[in-house]
Amino acid sequence: MQITKNTVAQFHYTLTNTQGELLDSSKDRAPLLYLHGHSALISGLENQLEGKSSGEKFVAEIKSEDAYGDYNEELVHIVPKNGFQNDGDEQLAEGMQVQVDTNNGMAVALVTKIEGEDVTLDLNHPLSGMDLKFDIEIMDVRMATAEEIEHGHAHGEGGHQH
C-alpha cells in the first residue's frame, strides 16, 4: 500500500545535517506514526513520503525553507532577568530551555546568553536555517480510520479517545 492522503504511515528515520552530524533518530524507540496529508510533518518530508510503500528505504534531502524555515533574527529577544519566576532550585542558565508567553501563545525559547540583568532568548526552532537529510525506512502503511481523519491525527496501537 502506498502513502497517500488519509493513510497512516509508520517509519523509522535517522536525521543528519549536511555535514553528516546526527541530530535525531527513531532507531531506539517506536517508529514515528503519522496521518499523511494533514501537515503533521514538515512539508518537505511529507512531499517525499507521498507514494512510498511499506518496506521502502530512501533518503530525503530537504532544504531549510521546506523544513523549519530560515533563522530569524527577530525571534531573538533580550528580556530582564527579574521577569522569570524563580520556581524552586532551578537557576536560569545559558543553554536552558524555558517556556515563554508570546503573542502566539506559549513557546519554547533557548536561553543563549545571560549578562547581568539581561537574558537573551532565542525563539527560533533549533533546526531553523538548516538543510536536513532523513534516512527513512517505511515500516507500515494503512488506511486511516474515520475517527483519525476527523481528529486530523493518527491514533496509536491501542487507540485513544480525545
Residues lying near Zn ion in the complex (CB under 5 A)? 151, 162
Q: How far is the CB of 146 from Zn ion (least distance, A)?
A: 12
Q: Which residue, 133 or 151, is less far from Zn ion as judged by CB?
A: 151
Nearer to Zn ion, 21 or 150 (CB): 150
Residue 74 CB partners (closer than 8 Å, separation 6+): none
Q: Are 156 and 144 in contact (CB under 8 A)?
A: no
Instruction: Kindly state the smallest distance separating residue 140's Cβ from Zn ion, in Å.
Output: 18
- Alpha carbon distance 136, 107 (integer Å): 29
Q: What are phi and psi of 146, to 5 degrees?
A: -60, -35
Nearer to Zn ion, 62 or 154 (CB): 154
> At closest approach, how far in Å is the CB of 6 from Zn ion?
14
Distance between CA atoms of residues 70 and 60, nearest Å: 19
Closer residue to Zn ion (CB): 12 or 155: 155
Q: Which three cell numbers stand for residue 27?
A: 532507531
Sheet holding 118-122, edge to edge: 76-80, 118-122, 105-115, 97-102
Q: How far is the CB of 152 from Zn ion (least distance, A)?
A: 8
Give min distance, CB of 149 to Zn ion, in A: 10
Beta carbon nearer to Zn ion, 38 or 151:
151
Number of residue whose CB is nearest Zn ion: 151
